[in-house]
Amino acid sequence: MAVRFGVYLPTFSRVRTGRELWNMCLESALTADKFGFTSIWAPDHLLGFDSVERVGEPSIDMLESFTTMAALAQATKNVRVGFSVLCLPFRNPALTAKMAATLDVISNGRLLFGLGAGWREDEFKSYGYTWRPLKERLEESIEAAEVIKRCWTMDKVYFKGRYYNIDGCEVKPKPLQKPTPPIWFGGVGLKAIEGFIRINPDGWLSPPLRLEDLKYRIDVFHMVDKGLTIAMEMYTSIDETSDKALEKARRPIEKWFGDPAEKVADYDASVQLPGGVTVRYGVTIGSPNDCIDVIARYVEVGVSHFVLHFMPLEDTVEGLKMYAEKVIPYFSESC
C-alpha cells in the first residue's frame, strides 16, 4: 500500500495576521510542492480559533478556503488541493459545484473534494446561517452532495428536495476529473460517518483519533472492503529529539486540547464535541524515528494518507522539510 503525505495549511494564526498569514500559507504550499508531498489542505471555517474546547472566543485571522485554494492551485504545480473539509451548509450546493469545478480546471485536475456538515454553532449564527440539529445538518449535507454530483455529471440539473430546489442548473465547464473529483468526507461521530457513507464517497478524512478508536470506525463501516481511501489529519511536532519536539509544541497543544501535552502525546486527550460526542485525540510528537513508529502503526490498520497538522502551525515549513528528509523516505522505501 502506497503511503502518502499532505499538509494542513496554516490558514489561521494568532501570531501572523493579514498579509503575513497569507505569505506563511503560500510558503507552506510551495514547500510541500517542492519536496514532493501529495496534497495541501485548507480548513473551511469562517471564524479562526486555536482551542477546540473554548470555541466562542474572539476570532483570530482566518483565510477563506475557496479563494485561498484557488490562488494556491495557480501557484503550485503538482500537489493535489483539498478542503479539510468544506462545510456544505455554508454555500448553495449548485454554487459549490460551480466553484469546485472551476477549481479543478484551474488546478489541472488536482482537486480533492473534502466535505462535511459543520460543527461550530457560533460560526453558523454569527454569519447568519440557520443552525440545525446534527440529524438535520447531515440530511441537508447529504442532499447537497447529491446536487453537487449531479451538477458535475449532468448537462442540466433539476432537483427538488427538502432543503434545496434546483431548476435547470448548468455547471460548465465540468471538472477535468471524470466522472467527478475524488469525494472524501470528514466526521468522527458514528451517526455522521453512517450518513456520509450513503453518498458513496471515495475516502474518509479522519481527525487525529487514538488508534483503537480509528480502527473501530474503519471496521464497523467496512471501509477497507468498500475500497475507501482512509486518511488522517495527523497533528504533529517533530524535532531532532522528542524533548525538543514536545517543548516547542507544549503551549499550542495544551491550549488546543485542554490537557497536559504528555497526555495528548499518548493519544489520550478527551475532547467533547458538539452533540455530546466524546473522542480521544492525540498528537504525534518526537524525533523522526518516533514519528515513523506512530505512523507505521496507523498504516497497519489501513491509513494510507496522512495530512500533517504541525504544532505550532507557524512551524509548518520547517516541519515539512524534516518530514521530507527523515520520515517520508522510510515509507517510500517500504512500499
pTM for this prediction: 0.96
Return d(Cα 239, Cα 245) in angstroms, integer: 5
CB 231 within 8 A of CB 207: no
DSSP classification of residue 206: E
CB 231 within 8 A of CB 307: yes
Return d(Cα 99, Cα 169) in angstroms, integer: 13
The grid coordinates of residue 304 equal 494510507
pLDDT of residue 66: 98
pLDDT of residue 258: 87
Single-letter code of the amino acid located at 27: E
Q: Which stretches in the chain have pLDDT values below 70?
A: 52-56, 273-275, 334-335
Task: Give the model confidence (pLDDT) of 78-98 as tens digits.
Answer: 999 999 999 999 999 999 999
pLDDT of residue 170: 98
The grid coordinates of residue 295 equal 505512523
Give the rounded distance of the alpha carbon of 132 from its chain centre.
Answer: 22
pLDDT of residue 55: 62
The grid coordinates of residue 20 equal 503575513
pLDDT of residue 308: 98
CB 111 within 8 A of CB 178: no
Domains belonging to the chain, first-starting first, are: 4-334 (3.20.20.30)
